[in-house]
Amino acid sequence: MTLISMLLALIIERLAVRSDAWQAHGYLKSYVRLSASSGLSKLASHRFGQYLWLALPGAVVGLVLCLLDSHLISFVVNTLVLLVSIGCWHFRQLYKQYLNAMERGDDEAGFLAMQQMRHDSGSREQSSYGQILVWLNFQYYAAVVFWFLVAGAFGVITYALVRHLQQPVAEDDTEQAAAYAHCVPEGSKALPRVAHWLNWFPARLFGLGFALVGHFSRASSALLSYFLDFTADNELVVTEVAAAAEPMPELTVNTVEESGHMLQLAKRSMLFFLAFAAVLTLGGWLA
């Protein structure tokens, strides 16, 4: 059932998901606003309560599924939760704008589309266009699927919430910005710590995937330098291993060619792990 949920969610998201109702950000914004205007704000702003606040939505859904004890309901809910959490229509649209701009020779419009994607994803300034796409693919597909396999709906919802809170708030959304500041005070260490550890193992696992489907010797060397590094930025790990696995001439950096090759690398890695999950299912390791 786990594998079927994954495949259904990935297929539907690719072919049919367009509206905001199928994107996680709307529901996560509502949770933050609810927290800011209720007693949850005390939990969210507490030094240790912040960790519980981050896990609360996923824990509630997981508890309800356990109490209902229905395979059918669990299958439907898990599929819907996964589908919503991998929804990234906003970034798909920005990438399409970039491709359309480059096709008509409008370099400035292409640059602005990618800068918007960089800003909205919270990506590092040093990342190339292709590396931005790899990091987004990791955050919205690879890491989400990993936590779905490990912890079901609880893992997916918790990861999606932490991912959402790591991204910048729109400048014109003052109400949401105030709610975020109330729930995640400046200087809070809970969010970056949880985000780091949620991404730590998936980043290295999918770095291994890049090595297996790309230039193995270069990628494996890059991966080994980070494998037991518990402090390195996870985006740096993912993007550098990806760049080593898909070496490109320097002249192609920040071009459509580089973006396309890096995106294809991420897709090949994802397909590899879906096949690996299928083998685990057939072997009885996954339900």
Task: Give me the residue spans of the domains in the chain.
Answer: 2-282
**pLDDT tops 90 at residue 64:** yes
Residue 85 CB contacts under 8 Å (≥ 6 apart), including other chains: 24, 140, 144, 156, 157, 159, 160
Q: Mean per-residue pLDDT for 64-74?
A: 95
User: Letter for the amino acid at 236?
Assistant: L
**What pLDDT, on a 0 to 100 scale, did the predictor assign at position 29?**
93
CA atoms within 13 A on the CB side of 56: 15
pLDDT band at 18 (very low <50, low <70, confident <90, very high): confident
User: DSSP assignment of 248-275, as one string?
Assistant: --GGGTTSHHHHHHHHHHHHHHHHHHHH
Cβ-in-10-Å burial (0-12, 13-18, 19+) of 33 comes to middle
**What pLDDT, on a 0 to 100 scale, did the predictor assign at position 173?**
75
- The most confident of the ranges 5-19, 119-133, 250-264 is 250-264
Is the CB of residue 202 less than 8 Å from the CB of residue 238?
no
pLDDT tens digit sequence for 209-239:
999 999 999 999 999 999 889 999 999 999 9
**What pLDDT, on a 0 to 100 scale, did the predictor assign at position 186?**
76
Q: Mean per-residue pLDDT for 265-286?
A: 88
Length of the chain: 287
pLDDT band at 172 (very low <50, low <70, confident <90, very high): low
- Nearest to 58, CA basis, from 158, 197, 191: 158
Q: Mean per-residue pLDDT for 28-32?
A: 94
